[in-house]
Amino acid sequence: MFTLKQKLLHAGHHEVGDGHGGNGGEKSRAIVRKNIPMVEGKMSFEIFAEEGKVKSVKLVVEEPLRHFEAICEGHSAEEVAVIVSRICGVCPFPYALAASKAAEKAFGFKVSDQTYRLRELAIYGNMFNSHVLHALDLVAPRLLHLNSIIEFAVASPENTAVAAKLLALHTLGNDLARLIGGREVHSTTITPGWMTTVPKAEALKDVRDRLANAHETYDLLVNVFASISKDANPKLPIREREFIALRGEKKYPFYAGLIASSKGGVMDAAAFEQYKHEYVVDNSNSKQVRTDKSRSYMVGALARLNLNEDLLCDKARKDMETLGLSIPCHDPYMNTAAQLVEGRQVLVDVVKAIDELLAIGLHEEPRPVIVPREGYGAGYLEAPRGLIWHEYKYNGEGLVTWANCIIPTGMNTGSMQEDLEHLATHLLGDGATDETIGYDLDLLLAHYDPCNSCAVHVVRLNKKEEKRAFLAKEAKVAVVSLGNLIAGDDGIGHAVVEEIKHHGVEGNVDFIHGGVEGLTLLEDLAKEKYDAVYFIDAVDGLDHAGELVRFDGEELLAKAKKAGPKVSLHQNDFTYYFELARAIKLELPKTIVFYGVQAGQTEVGMGLTPEIDTHEIAHAIIHEIEDSHGSES
């Protein structure tokens, strides 16, 4: 068995001497922990100091890149739910659910009440097993300076009995997760639109009773954890931070709610989308996220607890007392304690939820018909480690054309980095030994419960890097004006295309003045094999001059058939050529978008009506092109 010191050495800890030959009193220090054990995935930290001052602190997520967003492209929503579940084997349910919710949002589908309730139960199961696992298998041995729960369990028959009793809680969480999700790791029932299998009432009753009777064992877990963490957690100065989590209305939220920030208030999905900003850092494979308000923020149990403390049950409050936790609490070393408080809340809420569901009665559901449509959807909920956010764009067949997954550890890496900086400075100033610093900071990261495999599927970066990264498969885009340059406002298309050209647009974009060409223009566009074509033309039938209308290819055809606003002002309606092109099986670009601008006057002559703001129109189109073709705003 290792002694503590050997363990530290084993984990890669070392000290280097003075690197620049000054007088012997000056010393540079390096405290490096490689491949931190008992966390999910590969993660390290490096602290360099000179003359007692911290020079650099680096959190490194070394788990190799995993390309998940690129993998999703071209797959249907139900396939994507299976794929992204494999981002994380520790908390797989929230991943499959985030993807399912995103698809439902994009396709305008609402799940049944029963599906909603079953999904809540699934999350309770995953939340409970993950929290117990973290406290019991990963953090407790660390606090006891042991190598694993097994080492604890085999030390004596008494230990074996205690370990077996506590591990039964973990098994219980897994049994609930398995009953609802089909399997405790990577659900076989969670998919967009429904739960493919509904559990039997008897089985649900059985697990309900076991959960209802688990409080006594759970007391033991809380008491054991409270006693071993009391003195083992270092007392360090606390840094105020921003917390972000779901905010519940009536009950403690995991599956649904608005997104709340301790600094930014309560937000809906659209507001949060604007509020958070992803970026990459050197020498780490994880993305990080900041907000409008802070360089980093914390998600997870402590964040949820800080933002939803008023919704806790009495039993959970009592655990807070036992564990020495009071809100507000900004101490990251209390995150595991917060997980245990949540575990208790789950035990109480899950029994209520099962009772409600049993009272309503379970019934088989037919497979729902979900009609896909082109568009964007974001899905979010709470995973054990914090808020999880998935967003996808789908084409008309419901296949993913763009994906972005922001996962809890990705959000927390920035917060961990900032804590490391803060605490390293303090510890060094305090004259702590390398061992102490190494141990304290290793423990800090462990309390965060990081999930590094999940954090490293970086493929979406800022615009410039993204553009470079995607050159290999960049879409070929054409922006085409239609209309007669010498017929007053019919020249609007020409003017807007010139404006876009002048401003510049990211991507592989050609600019074409189509004039009053019809079929020959479409033939030319087909020959060039454009992935996407944006037409801009003057239209009639809207309310006021300069008003903008947007149709995609399908809508355009539908409009042509109905007597809606007349599309295009040319003798032969442009939509006529579309139908013609399809009739002769011309291979048209996959994406066709038609922008129409209401004309003011179309008398012979150059120049536009003053009400028409070509600048604004051009920017709307630039935005769409950049958003749709491999760029992230």
Partner 1 sequence: MSKLEEYIARALRGDKPTLVYAELGSCDGCSMIIVNLDAVLLDLVSVFDIKQMRIAMRGVYEGPIDILMLEGAVTCEEEAEELRELRKRADYVVAVGACAALGGIPGMAPSFAVKNAQDGKFGKHVQGQGPMAPRPVHEIIRVDAVIPGCPIDTANTVRAIRVMLAGGRPDYSDRPVCMDCALKENGCLLLEGRACVGPVTKSGCGARCPSSNNFCWGCNGLLPDAPIDALFAIADIHGIPIEEVKRKLRMANQRHFTLLEEKKEEK
Residues 150-189 touching partner 1, rule: CB under 8 A, are: 150-151, 153-154, 160, 163-164, 167-168, 170-171, 174, 182-186, 188-189
**302 in Cβ contact with 332 (< 8 Å):** yes
Q: Which residues, numbered 116-135, are part of the site for partner 1 (CB under 8 A)?
A: 129, 133
Binding mask 243-282 for partner 1 (x = CB under 8 A): -------------------------------------xxx
For the chain, the straight-line distance linking the first and the last C-alpha, in angstroms and rounded, comes to: 53
Taking the complex as a whole, the smallest distance from the CB of residue 484 to partner 1 amounts, in Å, to: 42
Q: What is the DSSP string of 317-332?
A: HHHHHHHT--SS---G
- Residue 454 or 556: the one with the smaller Cβ distance to partner 1 is 454
149 in contact with partner 1 (CB under 8 A) = yes
- The answer for residues whose C-beta is within 8 angstroms of residue 569's C-beta and 6 or more apart is 483, 487, 490, 537, 538, 539, 540, 599, 602
Among 100, 233, 262, 285, binds partner 1 (CB under 8 A): 285
512 in contact with partner 1 (CB under 8 A) = no
Distance CA 236, CA 38 (A): 23
- Residue 474 or 537: the one with the smaller Cβ distance to partner 1 is 474
472 in contact with partner 1 (CB under 8 A) = yes
Taking the complex as a whole, the smallest distance from the CB of residue 24 to partner 1 amounts, in Å, to: 33
Q: Which residues, numbered 327-386, are part of the site for partner 1 (CB under 8 A)?
A: 367
What are the angstrom distances between the C-alpha of 11 and each of 33, 264, 427? 6, 39, 20
Interface with partner 1: number of residues (CB under 8 A):
84
Stretch that binds partner 1, among 64-72, 238-246, 349-357, 427-435 (CB under 8 A): 64-72
- Residue 202 or 364: the one with the smaller Cβ distance to partner 1 is 364
**279 in Cβ contact with 313 (< 8 Å):** no
**298 in Cβ contact with 415 (< 8 Å):** yes
Stretch that binds partner 1, among 88-96, 334-342, 568-576, 612-620 (CB under 8 A): 88-96
314 in contact with partner 1 (CB under 8 A) = no
The total of other beta-carbon atoms located within 10 Å of residue 269's CB is: 17
Query: Exposed, middle or buried by CB within 10 Å (0-12, 13-18, 19+), for 313?
Result: middle
**297 in Cβ contact with 414 (< 8 Å):** yes
Taking the complex as a whole, the smallest distance from the CB of residue 89 to partner 1 amounts, in Å, to: 2
Q: Which residues, numbered 31-60, are part of the site for partner 1 (CB under 8 A)?
A: 35, 37-41, 60
Torsion of CA 550, 554, 557, 563, to 10 degrees: -60
Among 196, 217, 508, 609, binds partner 1 (CB under 8 A): 196
Q: Which residues, numbered 564-623, are part of the site for partner 1 (CB under 8 A)?
A: none
Taking the complex as a whole, the smallest distance from the CB of residue 498 to partner 1 amounts, in Å, to: 33
- Token pair of 126 as six digits: 């995953």
- Residue 129 or 233: the one with the smaller Cβ distance to partner 1 is 129
- Residue 36 or 509: the one with the smaller Cβ distance to partner 1 is 36
Phi, psi values for residue 612, rounded to 5°? -85, 120
Torsion of CA 268, 270, 275, 280, to 10 degrees: 120
232 in contact with partner 1 (CB under 8 A) = no
Q: Supply the Cα-derived Rg of the chain in whole angstroms.
A: 29
- Residue 396 or 600: the one with the smaller Cβ distance to partner 1 is 396
Q: Which residues, numbered 439-468, are part of the site for partner 1 (CB under 8 A)?
A: 453-454, 458-459, 461, 465, 468
- Token pair of 102 as six digits: 């995103």
Query: Exposed, middle or buried by CB within 10 Å (0-12, 13-18, 19+), for 332?
Result: buried
Distance CA 202, CA 200 (A): 6
Distance CA 12, CA 208 (A): 46
Angle, helix 92-107 to helix 113-133, in steps of 10 degrees:
150
79 in contact with partner 1 (CB under 8 A) = yes
- Sheet with 375-383: list strands edge to edge: 375-383, 386-394, 400-406
Taking the complex as a whole, the smallest distance from the CB of residue 627 to partner 1 amounts, in Å, to: 20
- Residue 150 or 486: the one with the smaller Cβ distance to partner 1 is 150
Taking the complex as a whole, the smallest distance from the CB of residue 542 to partner 1 amounts, in Å, to: 39
137 in contact with partner 1 (CB under 8 A) = yes
Among 18, 46, 50, 73, binds partner 1 (CB under 8 A): 73
**532 in Cβ contact with 628 (< 8 Å):** yes
Instruction: Name residue 250's amino acid.
Output: K
Stretch that binds partner 1, among 107-115, 143-151, 326-334, 549-557 (CB under 8 A): 143-151
Stretch that binds partner 1, among 265-273, 323-331, 469-477, 534-542 (CB under 8 A): 469-477
Taking the complex as a whole, the smallest distance from the CB of residue 383 to partner 1 amounts, in Å, to: 13
Stretch that binds partner 1, among 76-84, 290-298, 424-432, 600-608 (CB under 8 A): 76-84
74 in contact with partner 1 (CB under 8 A) = yes
